[in-house]
A and B are shown apart, each in its own frame.
Chain A
Amino acid sequence: MKAYKTALLLSSALCMLLGMGTASAVLVNYTITGTVTAGDEFDTNAFNLTAGETITAYGVIDDSVFGTGAHTATFGSGNTLTIDVNGTFFTHADDTAASLGFADGLLTDFDFLVVGTFSSYFLFFDDQDLMLGDWNPVVATTPVPVPAAVWLFGSGLLGLVGVARRRKAIV
């Protein structure tokens, strides 16, 4: 009976550990795609991008920003941002005041600034020279996978419970 209770307790703890995120906000992987509207058709821009080509921004973000209403995400405490502009990478470390604005789950403002290089605000990005593009307001998200260590820990605990029950039964 004691082993049964222990098993119940441990499995509850494991469920709580794995399901912690469902009760409150969790980090999710996100990808934002931007399409170049005007690029180097007439003159080479800083990133050699041509109209129709895409750039991406990705990272992990607290999923509460996708809820109803207006939300703003900043970076540095859990949330991350990487922008891949045709092989040139920028991160939130390049602009510590970068932010993403959302309204009812859709992207409304992508604010990023590295003076003289790459700039974005509202839904448009540019190289402060010749290239211009706009972000897709629909943001793709996927759950952040539960680390393998958590599964190992959980299965180890269940194994221990099993061993304890067998011992009890033998005695």
Chain B
Amino acid sequence: MISKSRTLITAAFVMLLGMTGFSATAVATTPDGETPANEGVCDILKADGITKGLYGLCNAYCEAQDLDTFDKEPPSTKILANYNKKKAATDPDMPCLRVPCPCWSDEELASFTADGMVATCIGGDSADKVQIIDNAPLTKFADADITLNRERCRYIDLNTTPRTIRSFTINAAEAQGCFTAIVNACNSVLP
């Protein structure tokens, strides 16, 4: 009798656990609601001849720093280190490797959208340039140009003392990093 009730309790417990797990799976989501696999950034690592395991590491790394979401956890450097360790010379670099923009810090760019809105975003998407502007009370903007051989970034804030004026010609990877950061910042507040 005791054994029977113990079995029943165990079964109920297992069911409860299963249901909890199921519900957790049902509500689990990535920051932007899409896994990297669905976003396609890691798909190139599915090709023949690519070292096995890189695709999984790419998924983990890219989702950790989710490219479609501005407010993100810091990317896992351990995953990236594993990727680079595993990567053969013929394999591509980590597809969503985030190169810091030399014109601004994460905090400076985040300040544009801290109030949940932004004055204007210009360019982006199919354009080679993107600019985010917040004009209150004085001019403040960040922009990036990924045009080949004209890669540039700027961060201007006339509200600080002394005023912050940074304008650099940068390399293509940095420009892409700057560009993506602004696009993400704009996407985080624009409808």
Asked if residues B158 and A42 are in contact (CB atoms below 8 Å), the reply is: no
How many Å lie between the Cα of A133 and that of B67 in the bound state?
A: 33
A132, CB-defined interface residue at 8 Å: yes
Give CA–CA (A38, B129) in the complex, Å. Answer: 23
Among A21-29, A57-65, A121-129, A158-166, the stretch that binds chain B is A121-129
A104-147 vs B, CB cutoff 8 Å, 1 = contact: the mask equals 00000101010110010110101111111010000000000000
Chain B residue with minimal CB distance to A122? B131
Is A18 close to B, CB under 8 A?
no
Q: Is B169 an interface residue (CB 8 A)?
A: yes
Is B122 in contact with chain A by the CB < 8 A criterion?
A: yes
Tally of A interface residues using CB under 8 Å:
21
Query: Interface segment, B40-48, B51-59, B72-80, B149-157?
Result: B149-157
Most buried by B among A109, A115, A122, A128: A122
B85, CB-defined interface residue at 8 Å: no
A113 to B139, CA, bound (A): 22
Q: Let me know if A37 is at the binding interface, CB within 8 A.
A: yes
Q: Does B162 lie at the interface of the complex (its beta carbon under 8 Å from any beta carbon of A)?
A: yes
Q: Nearest B residue to A101 by beta-carbon distance? A: B129
- With contacts A119-B152, A124-B156 taken as known, whether A129 is within 8 angstroms of B165 at the C-beta atoms is yes
Q: Which residues in A have their C-beta under 8 angstroms from that of B123?
A: 122
- Please judge, given known A-B contacts A122-B122, A122-B143, whether A115 and B169 are in contact too, CB under 8 Å: yes
Interface size class of B (residues with CB under 8 A): 20 to 34
A97 to B149, CA, bound (A): 10
CB distance from A123 to the nearest CB of B (A): 9
Question: What's the nearest-Cβ distance from chain A to residue B92, in Å?
Answer: 29
Interface residue from A42, A113, A122, A134 paired with B162 (Cβ < 8 Å): A42
Q: Contacts A37-B158, A122-B143, A124-B156: A132 and B150 contacting too (C-beta < 8 A)?
A: no
- Give the nearest-CB partner of B156 in chain A: A132
Q: A121-B129, A121-B145, A122-B122 known; A132 and B152 CB under 8 Å?
A: no
Partner of A38, one of B141, B149, B150, B158: B158
Q: Does B167 contact A (CB under 8 A)?
A: yes
User: In the complex, what distance in Å separates the CA atom of A121 from the CA atom of B122?
Assistant: 12
| Pairs A–B under 8 Å by Cβ, sample size 9 | A37-B158, A38-B163, A38-B165, A97-B149, A109-B129, A111-B150, A116-B169, A122-B122, A134-B139
Residue ranges of B at the interface with A (Cβ–Cβ < 8 Å): 122-123, 129, 131, 139, 141, 143, 145, 149-150, 152, 154, 156, 158, 162-163, 165, 167-169
